Amino acid sequence: MADAGADGFGFDSDTSLELVAGKYGKDKIIIGNADCRILQNGTKEDIEAEVKKCIDIGKDCPGYFMCVANHIPNGIPMENIDHYFKCYEKMRIR
């Protein structure tokens, strides 16, 4: 897809963000990779670790956008969503 001219990619959590960022992170848009299952069932510590993993990998990629893979489905506890956004706000500064 990159060879065909795609400007960017949106990935789910089963894709290696590390691999994609290493190969395309300097000149392509990369969106996603946080695992929605962690938001659904994880602890606050799990959620913070997931956000940190994505931010740490994506922070050196000018076109990286943090996003929950498969978006935020119905049924995730509101306190988990709130914690996700608080973690993102705290870590998002490059």
| pLDDT tens digits, one per residue of 43-68 | 999 999 999 999 999 999 999 999 98
Average pLDDT value over all residues in the chain: 92
Q: Which amino acid is at 86?
A: K
Q: How many domains does the chain have?
A: 1
Q: Tell me how crowded residue 6 is: count the other CB atoms within 10 A of its CB.
A: 11
Asked if residue 19 is part of any domain, the answer here is: no
pLDDT of residue 2: 86
The bridge status of strand 64-65 relative to strand 8-11 is unpaired
Which of the four pLDDT bands, split at 50, 70 and 90, describes residue 69?
A: confident
Asked if residue 20 is part of any domain, the answer here is: no
Asked if residue 24 is part of any domain, the answer here is: no
Rounded mean pLDDT of 74-94? Answer: 92
Asked if residue 74 is part of any domain, the answer here is: yes
Asked if residue 85 is part of any domain, the answer here is: yes
pLDDT of residue 73: 79
Give the predicted TM-score (pTM) of the model. Answer: 0.89
Asked if residue 63 is part of any domain, the answer here is: yes
Range of the domain at 79: 29-91
